[in-house]
Amino acid sequence: MASSKTIDRRSFIKLSSLTGGGILIGFNLFTACKSDAKPPEDLANLNFKDFNAFIKIAENGKVTIISPNPEIGQGVKTSMPMIIAEELDVAWDDVFVEQGPLDTENFTRQVAGGSQSIRFGWDSLRETGATARQMLVNAAAAKWGVDPSECSVSEGVVINAAGDQLGYGELVTDAAQLEVPEGVTLKDPDDYKIIGTSRVNVDIDEIITGKPLFGLDYKADGMVYACAVRPPAFGQTLESYDDTEARKVNGVIDVVAYGEGNKVAVIAENTWAAIKGKKALKTTWSDDSELESSELHDQELGKILEGDDFEVRREDGDVEKAFKEADQVVERVYSSPFLPHNCMEPMNFFGHVTDEKVTLVGPIQTPAGTQAGVAELLGRPKEEITIDMTRMGGGFGRRLYGDFALEVAEIADKIRKPVKLVYTREDDMTAGIYRMAIKYKIAAAIKDGKITGYHLKEAAVNSNMYGLIPHFFPAGAIDNYKVETANYKSKITTGAWRAPYTNFLAFAEQSFFDELFEIMGVDPIQTRLDLLEKVKGTTDENIEYSPERLQGVIKLAVEKSGWGKQPEGVYQGFVAYYCHNTHVAEVADVVMENGNPVVKKVTCAVDCGIVINPTGAENQIVGGVIDGIGHAMYGDFSFDKGKPRDSNYATYRLIRMQETPKVEAHFVQNKLSPTGLGEPGLPPAGGAIANAIKKATGMRLTKQPFILQLAERENKVIG
């Protein structure tokens, strides 16, 4: 290769004229959304296949933003085009957002990253819109014979100093002939007309009229349905099966074993026949090793906390000395169970395998990784495998894993028919990749009325906290500080669950502080502000939370919740937390009704930088808070001899309307780059209600789900 100089990001925008009139601007959203993505080395390799998102400007001035981005309910299908439309400077009413068409070679697929899409896409999306705008301005300036700097733009119309006007639609043909400009100017946030204004979900009409949008709605000609039997307990293998009765079920076409002979799929003409066939299947399972129960996990995690086999994840000062010299030591243990994701749309995927190609369609957050997995599983080159994404009925981390897509690929390879693999709710809940059970032991050393030491130990099933979590608050605020982790290896599959680790860690840490401040007899708000004061000006690169911004949300939450001014009978709990690059403080209001604590209201203060779409932002925070309360309060998932005790909503409890408090979200107004909102509202919620429940009942909650611990109250009133 002659030269391989790294090309400028500008080259990631490409323009071409459309045969039907108008222009098409291609750019790579994948690059836009990944901080570490590198441009291809060679310019010659750049063609339209390198783009996965497009802006189409028609001769009538209408703008279509085509995005291949999947939507899991986090709102990016609305908010990301809003950023482009802002810089392009068009009226939002003239913008149409289209999901990238399925089955086209022009789209390279991408990951729907947790709470990171907006943060990483911010610069590139703005640059893309601004570049397109500049090209249209340049085209207008050339027509008028004036300098582009003499032109301005408003809502899709270019205006020159003399007051002449040209609409984008009139300029697209000329613009398509021009060079892509470099170094375009971005708007000042004060001039935003779309960003910061509420825009309704772009799929709203399809959702409220029941149009096919989701994976489970996808159909193909000649498609059959599959339901599978998987090992009922983690650690079991299939010894034998008898499909005589299953094959007698009306509509059942075939029965095939797969998954290294451990799973059996019933193939049928419709879903109901597949479900019935599955029930009629007789299977014998063997246990090749000890089957784990939750009681065992509890013991093992407890043993880990008592031992000293830990990996140090952060250490400041001399923790041992601080504890030895302390006037008082406070130590508490917090426990959480496993949790299933329970996406409202159960796992499902479509597959069709022929000699020529492998076609997979469905709700998945990680198509690239899944493609690689399918290539390996079927021994087929990646080029033969297409994976297309549908809208997803929830993700919460579960759809980061491609296990169900691999399953359908294998089944489709065996039967060579287009097939949809459907999980029943029971399959979905029992063949999960769960939030792992975790225990934390937190200890603080107090000397002369000050916190001189902080020591946190994490004992988790399978894996431990990752990334910068060990460096979150109170790292930097306490001189002698240590975080250590260890894990117990289990056969139960575990993985990411909305706000991994922090979804429980925030509760443990913030309940601990609440109790610690109470024991010390200090004000919980002022003490937090003081601790943060110490972090200001830190040069520690690992500390990414901002003490100023955390103080900011604390003050805003105090103000908006009427902290300390609540009427008699209302008990408030406070939490301030940073995760997923967003700072959040929450105040929960609890009252006693019939002798039981009831959460009435939660007030949130959020600093996520610039808010792109206020209605979407509020939806994410409010939903995250209620989700956090629901799982902290009721989420109880356990195993008996390797088998989940619950498999459907008759016994497994999710939060419902009547248990739901009113949630208010207040956003800090600033001009800082936006950060994500899909996760950060959730972690603080459990601690906020636990701290309020303590005031209301006198009981310190240390175990999730709270309802089990609350049931132990001596003078509890059953109501």
Binding residues for another protein, per CB under 8 A? 71-75, 198, 200-201, 203-205, 207-214, 216-217, 219, 225, 250-251, 270-273, 275-276, 342-346, 391-396, 422, 424-425, 615-616, 619-620, 622-627, 630, 648-650, 654-658, 660, 662-663
Alpha-carbon distance 100 to 621, whole Å? 28
Which two three-digit tokens encode residue 492? 């139960």
Residue 658 contact, options ligand FES, another protein, none, Cβ 5-8 Å cut-off depending on partner type: another protein
Nearer to ligand FES, 351 or 393 (CB): 393
Residue 519 contact, options ligand FES, another protein, none, Cβ 5-8 Å cut-off depending on partner type: none
Nearer to ligand FES, 344 or 717 (CB): 344
Computed from CA positions of residues 362, 364, 368, 371, in that sequence, does the dihedral angle turn out positive or negative? Answer: negative
Alpha-carbon distance 48 to 19, whole Å? 16
Nearer to another protein, 23 or 655 (CB): 655
Check: CB of residue 79 under 8 Å from CB of residue 618. no
Alpha-carbon distance 404 to 370, whole Å? 10
Residue 213 contact, options ligand FES, another protein, none, Cβ 5-8 Å cut-off depending on partner type: another protein
Residue 402 contact, options another protein, ligand FES, none, Cβ 5-8 Å cut-off depending on partner type: none
CB of 251 to another protein, least distance (A): 7
CB of 662 to another protein, least distance (A): 6
Check: CB of residue 415 under 8 Å from CB of residue 267. yes
Nearer to another protein, 143 or 425 (CB): 425
Alpha-carbon distance 71 to 204, whole Å? 12
CB of 269 to another protein, least distance (A): 8
Alpha-carbon distance 185 to 190, whole Å? 14
Check: CB of residue 81 under 8 Å from CB of residue 121. no
Check: CB of residue 246 under 8 Å from CB of residue 274. no
Pure H helices in 178-324? 204-209, 244-248, 271-280, 294-306, 319-324
Q: Does 156 bind ligand FES (CB under 6 A)?
A: no
Binding mask 70-89 for ligand FES (x = CB under 6 A): ---x----------------
Nearer to another protein, 250 or 669 (CB): 250
Residue in the shown chain whose Cβ atom is closest to ligand FES? 344
Out of 39, 231, 394, 630, the only residue in the binding site for ligand FES (CB under 6 A) is: 394
Check: CB of residue 27 under 8 Å from CB of residue 121. no
* φ, ψ dihedrals at 155, nearest 5°: 40, 55
CB of 364 to ligand FES, least distance (A): 17
Residue 657 contact, options another protein, ligand FES, none, Cβ 5-8 Å cut-off depending on partner type: another protein
- Please report which helix (H) or strand (E) contains residue 133, including its range: helix 117-144
What residues have CB less than 8 Å from 269, skipping those under 6 apart?
A: 224, 225, 251, 253
CB of 73 to ligand FES, least distance (A): 5
C-alpha dist (Å) from residue 236 to 278, 347, 429, 660: 18, 22, 17, 39
Residue 72 contact, options ligand FES, another protein, none, Cβ 5-8 Å cut-off depending on partner type: another protein
CB of 613 to another protein, least distance (A): 9
Nearer to another protein, 121 or 393 (CB): 393
Count of residues that bind ligand FES according to CB under 6 A: 3
Residue 219 contact, options another protein, ligand FES, none, Cβ 5-8 Å cut-off depending on partner type: another protein
Q: Does 344 bind ligand FES (CB under 6 A)?
A: yes
Alpha-carbon distance 516 to 308, whole Å? 24
Cβ of 523: how many Cβ atoms within 10 Å?
12
Nearer to another protein, 113 or 547 (CB): 113
Residue 216 contact, options another protein, ligand FES, none, Cβ 5-8 Å cut-off depending on partner type: another protein
Kindly report each contact of residues 261-264 with a partner whose C-beta sits within 8 Å and lies 24 or more positions away, as own/partner.
261/237, 262/230, 262/231, 262/237, 262/238, 263/228, 263/229, 263/230, 263/231, 263/238, 263/407, 264/228, 264/229, 264/238
Residue 271 contact, options ligand FES, another protein, none, Cβ 5-8 Å cut-off depending on partner type: another protein
Residue 322 contact, options ligand FES, another protein, none, Cβ 5-8 Å cut-off depending on partner type: none
Residues that bind ligand FES (CB under 6 A): 73, 344, 394
